Amino acid sequence: MRTIRLHDTGSGAVVDLEPREPGKVGIYACGPTVYNRIHIGNARPFVVFSLLTRFLEHEGYDVTFVANVTDVNDKIYDAARPLGIPSDDLAREMTAHYVQDTDGLGIGRPDAEPLASETIDGIVALIQALVDKGNAYAVDGDVYFRVRSDPEYGALSHRRVDDMDQGEGVEGADRKEDPLDFALWKAQKPGEDTAWDAPWGRGRPGWHIECSAMAEDLLGVGFEIHGGGSDLIFPHHENEAAQTRMARGAELTRIWMHNGMLQLAGEKMAKSVGNIESLADALERWGRDAIILLFVSAHYRQPMQYSEETLGAARTGVRRLREAARLLAPGPSPEDMAPLKERFFAALADDFRTPEALAAVWDWVRESNRRGGVGGDDLREMLGVLALDNLLTGDAAGDGPDGDAQELLARREAARAARDWAEADRLRDELAAQGWQVRDSAAGPELVRAER
């Protein structure tokens, strides 16, 4: 087995993946808070950790990938109120959208997708353990974590305790022993329509404890990889780590892996900045192939530029792969090209460096083209790990025209309607170059795979 090395935020170093049990890996990645449709930036951890799972499975590991859904949260109450609908209805609706939108990525689903609302018993038990050990205290139906009771607090985010702000504002400020403490349980307030009974009174959990409980419930304590966006390092992950450390006397996870943010026009994509594109719109506009290729062309730790230019380049890449596929023969690849495949997998084993892995793919494609096409097995194996092997089997079931082709078809129809025949012909040729033929049917024009 190849040694897998990954960057761990806690130690600030690239470390060996050393599973608790040889050959078995548990991955927990923080999922969305379901109060609206997810944007393309929210999709990055889903893609990164789904593809990491594929790679580890390729390397022979038995992987359990867990990605939660935060369906109990202040943001959901705040979003449901003006709509005049129950917050659990909104959460259910947005969870269904999340599943549908991420299904559009075509990279499969995590092994488990726990809901906070279905893990309340585990959450209450974990809070109780913290209260019993003196690391948490109840006040007026709320329960707070006593941050200064954890001597390791701040180790993950590399912050000094005195410089920290939990971001809870004035909420609970008069009840906290120390402004640094954060909420584990919040007493039900007027206007909050979901609540559960607990030893401290009716209420609902805080965000951080939900993840500690869901992760432990499915993966145990000390599992291999905890992932999420780098914006979650503090306070969310620092607090998850502290809760489990104090309640269980052991670390929640071995490696903390964080992905960089998506940037649009040089700024972090965020609802608060207003520069967001929904995942559904992005898939519709660009097609899943270009989106996946864009994601893997940046290293997961770096910020990723989301722009017409980067997506245009990804689209061109998708086209080049499809074109190369047409020359491939079935069966084994030449042995003297094996070092390119080795380069691909070695790059992934070294902190999941997908850009270097992709460079090996392009070198492989160039060499295959130079030889007029070779056996495609190695390329299929490499692209399979990146969830792009569909590009090699254009006529396989389920590989309909992507957003790119559909957009070209729509533009061709618009050109025909405007009697711009030259433009219509040019677009028809462009579709043909991508392997699509326009066929007129009773229901209007449709795309079918061109004869090869």
Task: Tell me whether residue 73 or residue 87 sits nearer to Zn ion (CB atom).
Answer: 73
What is the rounded distance in angstroms from the CA atom of residue 267 to the CA atom of residue 404? 26
Task: Tell me whether residue 65 or residue 345 sits nearer to Zn ion (CB atom).
Answer: 65
Task: Tell me whether residue 204 or residue 343 sits nearer to Zn ion (CB atom).
Answer: 204
Radius of gyration (Cα) for the chain, nearest Å?
A: 25
Contact status: 409 vs Zn ion (CB under 5 A): no
Task: Tell me whether residue 237 or residue 288 sits nearer to Zn ion (CB atom).
Answer: 237
Listed in order, strand segments (DSSP E) in 107-266 are 136-139, 142-145, 182-187, 203-205, 223-229, 253-259, 262-264
Among 4, 25, 27, 30, binds Zn ion (CB under 5 A): 30
Minimum CB separation of residue 30 from Zn ion in Å reads 3
Segment contacting Zn ion by CB under 5 A, of 3-11, 206-214, 365-373, 444-452: 206-214
Minimum CB separation of residue 215 from Zn ion in Å reads 8
Task: Tell me whether residue 30 or residue 257 sits nearer to Zn ion (CB atom).
Answer: 30
Segment contacting Zn ion by CB under 5 A, of 168-176, 194-202, 203-211, 336-344: 203-211
Task: Tell me whether residue 241 or residue 347 sits nearer to Zn ion (CB atom).
Answer: 241
Segment contacting Zn ion by CB under 5 A, of 16-24, 28-36, 91-99, 299-307: 28-36
Minimum CB separation of residue 146 from Zn ion in Å reads 21
What is the rounded distance in angstroms from the CA atom of residue 304 to the CA atom of residue 262? 5
- Backbone phi, then psi, for 256, in 5-degree steps? -100, 115
Segment contacting Zn ion by CB under 5 A, of 27-35, 277-285, 354-362, 427-435: 27-35
Contact status: 115 vs Zn ion (CB under 5 A): no
Full DSSP string of 330-369: SSPPPGGGHHHHHHHHHHHHBT--HHHHHHHHHHHHHHHH
Minimum CB separation of residue 209 from Zn ion in Å reads 10
Q: Helices 279-286 & 308-327, crossing angle to 10 degrees?
A: 50
Contact status: 126 vs Zn ion (CB under 5 A): no
Segment contacting Zn ion by CB under 5 A, of 23-31, 123-131, 263-271, 381-389: 23-31
Binding residues for Zn ion, how many (CB under 5 A)?
2
Per the CB < 8 A criterion, the answer to whether 79 and 156 are in contact is no
Segment contacting Zn ion by CB under 5 A, of 26-34, 84-92, 165-173, 339-347: 26-34
What is the rounded distance in angstroms from the CA atom of residue 40 to the CA atom of residue 51? 16
Contact status: 51 vs Zn ion (CB under 5 A): no
Per the CB < 8 A criterion, the answer to whether 315 and 307 are in contact is no
What is the rounded distance in angstroms from the CA atom of residue 265 to the CA atom of residue 255? 32
Minimum CB separation of residue 132 from Zn ion in Å reads 24
Give every CB contact of residue 303 below 8 A, 6+ residues apart in sequence.
260, 261, 262, 263, 268
Contact status: 27 vs Zn ion (CB under 5 A): no
Q: Which stretches of 17-149 are DSSP H helices? A: 43-58, 74-83, 87-103, 120-132
Q: Which residues pair with 265 in a beta bridge?
A: none
Task: Tell me whether residue 218 or residue 321 sits nearer to Zn ion (CB atom).
Answer: 218
Contact status: 387 vs Zn ion (CB under 5 A): no
Task: Tell me whether residue 225 or residue 409 sits nearer to Zn ion (CB atom).
Answer: 225
The two beta strands, 5-8 and 13-16, are antiparallel
Q: Is 388 helix (H, G, I), strand (E, B) or coil?
A: coil
Among 156, 211, 340, 382, binds Zn ion (CB under 5 A): 211
Task: Tell me whether residue 39 or residue 322 sits nearer to Zn ion (CB atom).
Answer: 39
Residues that bind Zn ion (CB under 5 A): 30, 211
